[in-house]
């Protein structure tokens, strides 16, 4: 659910010196709203604007000011894009506010800011920090045919990867996409009896440091969707239980598994 901060709906009338609260629908901007729930931390409303196609979509207004709300900036410090917002309601009546940069070309895209209403606590979280690696399984239960390998090969060529090594004995194939300052994205295909194992990481300073970031996840996710479209075998990402992957696919590609 989208949320509005207290300072965004409450203003002080300078002449009369009293607080004026004007709550509006964050989706259509109208004030045709209905209160459906309230507790100590937040109040939940729905919009009933008859001309709004998504009427009855709930949103939340925070009842108390968050820490340093007077200095709050709803835009990313790096790219100046307005933060994506999400309210996560908890079973104890508490809630978390999520702020996230929507620009996938920004360095802040990998992070989200979480504010706990009950504990009044800010946390910055790396949404990929739980992922030890970015890996893709493509089950075929047989050796991949040439046309199936060409699906991967053409995708990598479209993304400006170059074939670097092909080890016939170990049945591994390496692709790289080079950047400035000795940095490259390393795509490794390992041929297995069941199909392909595909990993992706970024090498910094000629393999002295390995990292996983939005750029590598974006490329691997694109391949994942490409293989799903072909409907050949079974394809899934590891660790497949992590919500970070589903979240990324939904917001970047509007894809639901």
Nearest by Cα to 38 from 6, 7, 9, 62: 62
Task: Examine the domain organization and report whether 116 and 152 are in the same domain.
Answer: no
Task: Examine the domain organization and report whether 118 and 31 are in the same domain.
Answer: yes
Task: Examine the domain organization and report whether 99 and 141 are in the same domain.
Answer: no
- Region 223-239 average pLDDT: 77
Contact 101, 38 (CB under 8 A): no
Task: Examine the domain organization and report whether 25 and 78 are in the same domain.
Answer: yes
Nearest by Cα to 55 from 43, 45, 70: 45
User: pLDDT of 154-205, one tens digit each?
Assistant: 999 999 999 888 877 778 888 988 876 667 888 888 887 777 888 888 887 5
**End-of-domain residue from the set 87, 108, 126:** 126
Task: Examine the domain organization and report whether 34 and 119 are in the same domain.
Answer: yes
Task: Examine the domain organization and report whether 105 and 218 are in the same domain.
Answer: no
User: pLDDT of 9-20, one tens digit each?
Assistant: 988 766 666 778
Helix, strand, coil % over all residues of the chain, rounded to 5: 20, 40, 40
pLDDT of residue 182: 67
Q: Is 158 helix (H, G, I), strand (E, B) or coil?
A: helix
Task: Examine the domain organization and report whether 231 and 153 are in the same domain.
Answer: yes
Between 237 and 151, whose confidence is greater?
151
pLDDT of residue 16: 64
Q: Where are the beta strands (DSSP E) in the chain?
A: 2-4, 10-13, 18-21, 33-38, 42-47, 58-62, 84-89, 95-100, 111-116, 121-126, 135-139, 162-167, 172-178, 184-192, 195-204, 209-211, 234-238
Please give the backbone phi and psi of residue 37, each rounded to the nearest 5 degrees, phi first: -165, 145
DSSP, res 75: B
Burial of 214 (0-12, 13-18, 19+ CB in 10 A): buried
**End-of-domain residue from the set 126, 149, 164:** 126
Question: What's the predicted TM-score (pTM) here?
Answer: 0.55
Task: Examine the domain organization and report whether 95 and 189 are in the same domain.
Answer: no
Residue 242 — pLDDT band, cuts 50, 70, 90? very low
C-alpha 230: how far from chain center: 25
Number of domains in the chain: 2
CATH, residue 141: 3.30.310
Which residue range(s) make up the domain with 86? 2-126
Per the prediction, the chain carries an average pLDDT of: 80
Least reliable range by pLDDT among 59-63, 86-90, 162-166, 169-173: 169-173
- CA distance readout (Å), 202 to 90, 107, 110, 127, 192: 37, 15, 15, 17, 23
């Amino acid at each position: 659910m989208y949320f509005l901060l207290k300072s965004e709906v409450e203003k002080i009338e300078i002449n009369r010196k009293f607080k004026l609260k004007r709550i509006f629908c964050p989706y259509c901007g109208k004030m045709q709203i209905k209160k459906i729930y309230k507790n100590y931390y937040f109040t939940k409303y729905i919009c009933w604007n008859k001309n709004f196609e998504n009427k009855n979509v709930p949103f939340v207004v925070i009842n108390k000011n968050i820490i340093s709300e007077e200095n709050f900036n709803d835009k990313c410090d790096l790219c100046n894009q307005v933060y994506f917002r999400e309210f996560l309601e908890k079973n104890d009546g508490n809630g978390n506010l999520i702020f996230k940069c929507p620009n996938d070309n920004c360095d802040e895209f990998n992070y989200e800011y979480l504010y706990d209403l009950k504990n009044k606590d800010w946390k910055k979280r790396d949404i990929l920090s739980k992922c030890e690696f970015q890996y893709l399984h493509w089950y075929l239960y047989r050796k991949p045919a040439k046309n199936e390998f060409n699906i991967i090969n053409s995708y990598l060529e479209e993304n400006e990867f170059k074939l670097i090594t092909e080890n016939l004995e170990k049945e591994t194939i390496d692709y790289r996409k080079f950047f400035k300052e000795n940095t490259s994205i390393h795509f490794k295909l390992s041929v297995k009896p069941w199909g392909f194992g595909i990993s992706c990481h970024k090498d910094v300073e000629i393999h002295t440091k390995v990292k996983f970031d939005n750029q590598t996840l974006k490329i691997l996710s694109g391949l994942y969707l490409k293989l799903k479209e072909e409907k050949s075998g079974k394809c899934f990402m590891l660790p497949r239980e992590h919500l970070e992957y589903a979240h990324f696919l939904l917001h970047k590609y509007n894809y639901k598994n």
